[in-house]
Amino acid sequence: MSELSKLREQICTLAKSIFDRGLTGGASGNISVRLDDGGILVTPTGSSMGQLDPARLTQLDHTGRIVSGDAPTKEIPLHSAFYETRSETGAVVHLHSTHSVALSMLPDTDPENAIPPLTAYSIMRLGKVKLLPFFVPGDPAMGQAIRGLAGKRSAVLLANHGPVVAGKDLEAAIYATEELEETAKLALLTHGRNPIGLSDAQIVQVVKKYGIDYTS
């Protein structure tokens, strides 16, 4: 089996895992992986994460032209923006996960740090998460908003829509997305109850130990 074929299988396997655990439903969500030639392998438009066909995943070349597969997700601008602004990005995951979306709608969610520092792992895997305003799904302006961050964030939360997370490879992006959703769930469970999150000193300890950029 070629490396490309293995990658196709991996996308479908991890996508089904996400779907089966209720992190995305229906035909929502999309995943992409950057290829060695600068192209992108991405889930097709209107496809269910629980029923992806490896052979029908969309392969785009470095110019965005379709090489094979079905028509790509309409959220390609989101994915492309991360690849263009963060050279270390190897994969991007976008979900409509329930708790993350709910957190994006609360009026007291910090737009500069939408996922509160409740655990060390959210800091380690996500850094600070920027809350972006609402955009109509598929609007290229979403990609422009991510480009406006100049590569300083690996994850954003789209208001009333869901998270978009970049990682060095597919597994890293998946794990970080799951961490975002679980921390959003914790934030909602403790909302209004004055939870004791990590102190500034504890955040500094995590940041120093794992070399995280938690300033921008």
Distances (CA, A) of 110 to 39, 46, 114, 177: 35, 32, 5, 19
How many of the other CB atoms lie within 10 Å of CB of 62? 12
Largest CA distance in the chain: 53
Q: Which residues are catalytic?
A: 75, 121
Q: Which two tokens stand for residue 198?
A: 């990590």
Distance from C-alpha of 128 to C-alpha of 143, rounded to nearest angstrom: 18
| Residues 121-154 as b or e (16 or more Cβ within 10 Å = b) | ebbbbbbbbbbbeebeeeeeebbebbeebebebb
Quickly count: other Cβ atoms within 10 Å of residue 207's Cβ. 17
